[in-house]
Structure 1
Amino acid sequence: MELVKPYASEVYAVNCSAKGAKQIPLGFRDDQYAYHKTLYDVLNDSSKPSEKSVLCLVNFNLGTNGGERAVARDNFKGKSWVSMSENYMNLNTGKSLEHSDPEIQKMRVEYYTELKRTKFVICPPGTGKDTHRVYETLFFGAVPVIKTSFLDPLYERLGGCWIVKDWAEVTEEACNERWKNVNRPKMDFGAKRWLLAFDGT
């Protein structure tokens, strides 16, 4: 931050822990915007069930930040109330980034379809603390479960997130109780809203 002070009055950043930086949402992945259409297609497809029948979903690639993600996976492994995708977890990281690959596109639709019928989604950090999964989860009306970090103020302003100190806080009973009073915020990740928010308007 000291290096940019002479050149910038404010710094708005994604996944930046520098003191003084104002955090803005990472938002959705933007691979030529193809996934934006897929999100809406799945959301509006009446043939894909929207009833929230899955209590908790664990579905992330272990090739990205494997240490922290493995801890998250191990906490929920073998629990009857958790839906876990071993297939996606063990997918080669390089393969998972081949977004034009038909197999990956099919898995993406399956993942979004799963989000559509899920209540709570475990969202451990990946390349950065903030992840696309958080915003995809909110888009489909589910609750992202996130470990506490320097991004807590961002998620509190965003609304609809469950911030925990330890994955062990996430139990079947806690999920069921929290779902009764779940807050589903209006989706607005636009730059204008966040710039105005920092100005107190």
Structure 2
Amino acid sequence: MKTFNWEQYIQNYPDLSGFTREKAIRHYNRFGKKENRTDSVLPDFNNGIISGEKIQLRCDYFIGTLYDINSNPLIKLEVHKFPEKWLKFSSDVKKECKIFCYTHRMFEFMDLLHGIEFPFDIYFHNSDENFTEEMYQTLKKVPFVKQIYSQNNTVKEVITLPIGQANSSWKHGNSKILGDKMKCIEKSMDCVEKTMGIFLNFNITTPKRVGLRDILNFIPWVENKEYQEYIDTLAKYRFCICVEGNGLDTHRFWECVYLKVIPICVKNKWTEIMKDKVHMILLDKWEDLKDYPLNYTWREYQCIDI
């Protein structure tokens, strides 16, 4: 079997780089915390909360540009010092592997993916881009790709990855706060009294959200809060408005799922794929909510093996 060597592609992709999960974690520990996030830590893989960085770190290789690597607060690498063996996929090392790529980078690296000559699964995440039928048809032509996983997925043949909680580099990516509340609720629903109706709060500057607050003016608006207070407040609600952001999936949706709050969404291609896996209320349009008969009955979601 041939060895796939990145150096063959440097001429076309001069800023291409990659690393194994073990090397990424080791380098994070070696170089320490990014200056702009003094409280950044490696994510807790045992708390049951999905995030993009966890999915990325579970993969064997990461395909991306130097900007992608340098902007990741869990990784600080001096690429010019990489040992040569870090810069290649070797079929002598693994019979198959998991490869991570930002969704919006897929088309940039198709030549590279076609050059891999051993089986691999590919994971797309940490991106606002939606995974489309065009992307699926393009990837189907890659000879050794076995399974495709993606966030913001719209294709039934692809396994949908939740966007999950925000990454730990963000204040709303504090998995301890969310995890502690989730464990409390899982232990006993008496931990939180669900005395509130519909939670309504979102960033109104996102294009698909403009004007929505006026449409839903019959629901009290919840003011912005620090993350701990926000999670404590959200957990008391039975339902929550989950409107599309830049991508189809949202962190709010999964915060609701972890806190046993039922998301309310308008139908789209993503909800059509997820509606049988996660309990949600689906509307044709937001105006329909005013007369919708809401009934709180929680149904556990189906786990996804990644």
TM norm structure 2: 0.47
The answer to which structure, 1 or 2, has the higher relative contact order (CA under 8 A, 6+ apart) is 1
Tell me by how many angstroms 1:20 deviates: 4.6
| Alignment partners' CA distance in 1, 2:138 and 2:270 | 22
For 2:166 and 2:303, how far apart are their aligned partners in 1? 13
Shift of 1:84: 0.9
Change in Cα spacing, 1:122 to 1:149, as seen in structure 2 (3 Å) is same
Corresponding position of 1:56? 198
**Alignment of 1:37 onto 2:153:** no
Cα shift at 1:3? 2.9
Deviation for aligned residue 1:15: 0.8
Query: What is the CA distance between 1:24 and its match in structure 2?
Result: 2.8
Aligned residues: 163
Secondary structure of the 2:138 match is coil
Q: Deviations over 1:53-80 (max 9, x none)?
A: 21111111123x2x32123222112x2x
Whether the aligned pair in 2 keeps the contact of 1:53 and 1:118 (CA below 8 Å) is: yes
Please tell me the root mean square deviation across aligned C-alpha atoms, in Å. Answer: 2.9
Q: Which residue of 1 aligns with 2:128?
A: none
Bigger Cα Rg: 2
Q: 2:235 is matched with which residue: 108, 111, 116?
A: 116
**1:129 and 2:248 aligned:** yes
Contact kept, 8 Å, 1:57 with 1:121, in 2: the verdict is: yes
Aligned ranges for residues 164-175 of structure 1 at < 5 Å? 164-171=283-290, 174=292
Name structure 1 gaps, 5 residues minimum.
89-105, 193-201
Matched, 1:6 2:141: yes
TM-score by length of 1: 0.68
Q: Secondary structure at the match of 2:269?
A: coil
Runs of 4 or more above 6 Å deviation = none
From 159, 162, 165, give the equivalent of 1:25.
Answer: 162
Q: 1:134 to 1:168 in 2, by over 3 A?
A: same
Decide whether the 8 Å contact of 2:156 with 2:273 is kept in 1. Answer: no
Q: Which runs of 5+ in 2 are unaligned?
A: 1-135
Deviations 1:55-112 (A, max 9, x none): 111111123x2x32123222112x2xx2313x43xxxxxxxxxxxxxxxxx6111211
Hey, what's the Cα distance between the residues in 2 that align with 1:187 and 1:109? Answer: 24
Structure 2 residue matching 1:6: 3-state secondary structure: coil
